[in-house]
Structure 1
Amino acid sequence: MSKTTAVNFSKQAQAHYAAGPVIILGSGASAAFGMPGMWELSQHLIKHVDITDAHSKDQEEWGRFCDLLNQEVDLETALHKVHLCEEITNAVVRATWDLLNPNDIEIFKKSIKNNDLFPLGTLLRSMFRSTRDVIDVITTNYDRLAEYACEQEGLHHFTGFTHGYRRILASEDHLRSQRQVNIWKVHGSLDWYKSPGRTVCGLPNMLDMPDDYEPMIVTPGAEKYRITHGEPFRTAISRSDQAIVEANSYLCIGFGFNDQHIQEKLIEGCMQHKKPVTVITYALTDSAKEFLFGQGVVNFLAIERGEHDNQSIIHSSLASDPLIVEENFWSVAGYLGLIL
């Protein structure tokens, strides 16, 4: 890479960052910490969802679903191809929680011993060195890694609930803070539950599911578009839409561009209003490539991993061809070295 080219990409990254981006986190942001991905989840569901009490027709539908997964159909596509009854859907949600929650808590334990575990926290702290007093983070992930990243840096964060051990729904201004990170979790969170009285609450870092409580997380598939019409999802999606509309730029971390809850406003911002977008990820998905390269986005910078961790492939609206560099710019830690 020539010095001139390096400066151009660095300047583009810094310009996108200086515009004060909204941050969009996808599953790739959590995979970097060892959180199970869709394949591990699909295998877990096949092994652990108990359908013995379900109606025979519902058991047959579950069998179709498992066959699709065994044929390596991705989880979201499989859930769109079958119709699981409410009983089995609830079992899928609970099994998802059972798989992810212990992994999430183990990462939290690691963060207690390692104050530098989350580069995202360093990124958020750097963004507050400007005059900004609010940063919006939008995530499709259920885990609490964004919250842990904030707490690593002593930053006040808001996820739609009050603070404390028994949290209730609240507005983002229920507490006064000079600096605040809003984390809009459009598909729910591992610490959101529906109580036996059908009220929504937040119970942090529970090792086991409270008796008669239901996890408030939305699994992939057609059902998520029905379930997210209710609270707390409706508010999270509405506020994430508002954040995307009001943002001057976008920073996507491990986001695959496969979610309709985020896509429409993001496309509108990049296409109609020509707002800059930066994508850093392990590997660009086909949907990400179509979004960036096939829809006329005029100001983009996308960085993915090359053949090894210390190699990056840089795609930019400034160049007609991708550029391979022998440096790590595709991870959050590597990206920080590019902009700071």
Structure 2
Amino acid sequence: MSDMNYQKQAQDYYGKAPVIILGSGASAAHGMSGMGALAKHLVAHTDVSDLSAPELKVWENFCKVLSNGVDLESALHQVSASEELTSRIVKTTWMLINAEDIEIFQKSLQGNATFPLSLLLEHMFRSSLKMINIVTTNYDRLAEYACDQGRIHHYSGFTHGFFRQLAAPTEITSARRANIWKVHGSLDWFLSPQEDTVALSNFYGIPDNYQPQIVTPGTQKYQKTHLEPFRSIINNADQAINEAGSYLCIGYGFNDEHIQPKLMVKCLRQKTPITIITYALSESAKKIILDGKAQNYLAIERGKTDDQSIVYSSLDKAPLTVEKNIWSLEGYLSLIM
């Protein structure tokens, strides 16, 4: 496979107006904590005072599982946390990710930090596109910041303003718009004292009597996502995936049950093209895409250095090592712009 082949393939797939799928790797590129760092933070900072004896036993088991090298998501599936313990884990998660999120936003205000996603969206909107769909498992607001930086209106399920309430997609109209479907919730979503979900922007702490609406891994994840607003958000994400002409996955590990099934049906059965750019392809990605039956794929991961990339393509059985960075979003942009 030559450089021209994979570049033309990247451009062909991009030309089909992809749905953008953001995974944790997209946020890690900006310095956000991954699952490993979050696990350490939870063990060190979760408030377990005043818990009952059975809850403390569950917490001790959870910490022991983590210390044995089990990843955070698997560890949370191995223990049955009470509603109170789950609430404390959610709050501790929120405090870490929110602090990092606001720091990134403040750096962007200095004008020396351009979001690569902003450049991508601006470029996509130079066509006849009026709507772009972004599906993400991330809690952070980096996609929203990227839209703001590019003067792009975005919709994530709520009205505009400082105190935002749930709104149908038809309520928000603009000449061009990015829909951001956050299937696991967002840092600015809260359950109010009135038991409805509202969105409040850039708080440093959790408002009194409000609860963060983010879904952490674990057994309660599935129960939570059957409730609003998650149910509607996931339905809209499913619709976007079903109607897509192609997919652009950025730092996505192919480990989420809410995105995976629809995506794989489209790629495996309907041969919808998929592009994956990431620091390192996950084992799930390799199994599903490279070793599976996907017929139209382009997957790019980092090589031995930042300036080396490994390209896997459905056009060639053997991977190609390229001596330049095309695995990051910035590098990928050089292929399609």
1:295 maps onto 2:316 in alignment: no
For 1:253, the equivalent position in structure 2 comes to: 250
1:158 maps onto 2:155 in alignment: yes
Give the residue type in structure 2 aligned to 1:246. Answer: E
Displacement of 1:115 in angstroms is 5.7
SS in structure 1 opposite 2:9?
A: helix
1:186 maps onto 2:183 in alignment: yes
1:317 maps onto 2:318 in alignment: no
Displacement of 1:180 in angstroms is 0.3
1:74 to 71, 74, 93: 71
Distance 2:205 2:58 in 1: 29
Alignment root-mean-square deviation, CA: 0.9
TM-score normalized by structure 2? Answer: 0.98
Listed one character per residue, the Cα deviations across residues 281-311 of structure 1 (whole Å, up to 9, x for unaligned) are: 0000000101112221001000001111111
1:139 maps onto 2:130 in alignment: no
Listed one character per residue, the Cα deviations across residues 135-163 of structure 1 (whole Å, up to 9, x for unaligned) are: 00000000000000000100000000011
What aligned pairs does 1:58-73 form with structure 2 within 5 A after superposition?
Answer: 58-73=55-70
For 1:43, the equivalent position in structure 2 comes to: 40
TM-score normalized by structure 1? Answer: 0.98
For 2:118, the equivalent position in structure 1 comes to: 121
1:333 maps onto 2:330 in alignment: yes
1:237 maps onto 2:234 in alignment: yes
Distance 1:150 1:302 in 2: 25
1:105 to 96, 102, 105: 102
Distance 2:226 2:65 in 1: 28
For 1:18, the equivalent position in structure 2 comes to: 15
1:83 maps onto 2:80 in alignment: yes
Displacement of 1:116 in angstroms is 4.9
Conserved in 2, the CA contact under 8 Å of 1:24 and 1:253?
yes
2:6 to 6, 9, 15: 9
Listed one character per residue, the Cα deviations across residues 301-332 of structure 1 (whole Å, up to 9, x for unaligned) are: 00001111111000001111111111110011
Conserved in 2, the CA contact under 8 Å of 1:115 and 1:152?
no
Residues 163, 115 of structure 1: CA spacing in aligned structure 2 closer, same or farther, 3 A cutoff? farther
Distance 1:291 1:23 in 2: 18
Conserved in 2, the CA contact under 8 Å of 1:195 and 1:214?
yes
For 1:198, the equivalent position in structure 2 comes to: 195
Give the residue type in structure 2 aligned to 1:83. Answer: S
Conserved in 1, the CA contact under 8 Å of 2:138 and 2:186?
yes
Give the residue type in structure 2 aligned to 1:312. Answer: S
Distance 1:188 1:76 in 2: 17
2:167 to 163, 166, 170: 170
Distance 2:305 2:141 in 1: 28
Give the residue type in structure 1 aligned to 2:324. Answer: E
SS in structure 2 opposite 1:173?
A: helix
Displacement of 1:175 in angstroms is 2.5
Give the residue type in structure 1 aligned to 2:253. Answer: G
1:54 maps onto 2:51 in alignment: yes
Displacement of 1:232 in angstroms is 1.0
Displacement of 1:197 in angstroms is 1.7
Distance 1:282 1:9 in 2: 18
Listed one character per residue, the Cα deviations across residues 221-276 of structure 1 (whole Å, up to 9, x for unaligned) are: 22111101111111110000000000010000000000000000001000110000
Question: Runs of 5+ in structure 1 lacking a partner?
Answer: none
Displacement of 1:97 in angstroms is 0.5
Distance 1:50 1:111 in 2: 32
1:227 to 224, 229, 233: 224
Distance 2:281 2:264 in 1: 17
Distance 1:221 1:62 in 2: 13
Distance 1:139 1:185 in 2: 5
Distance 1:317 1:121 in 2: 29
1:305 maps onto 2:302 in alignment: yes
Distance 1:261 1:175 in 2: 25
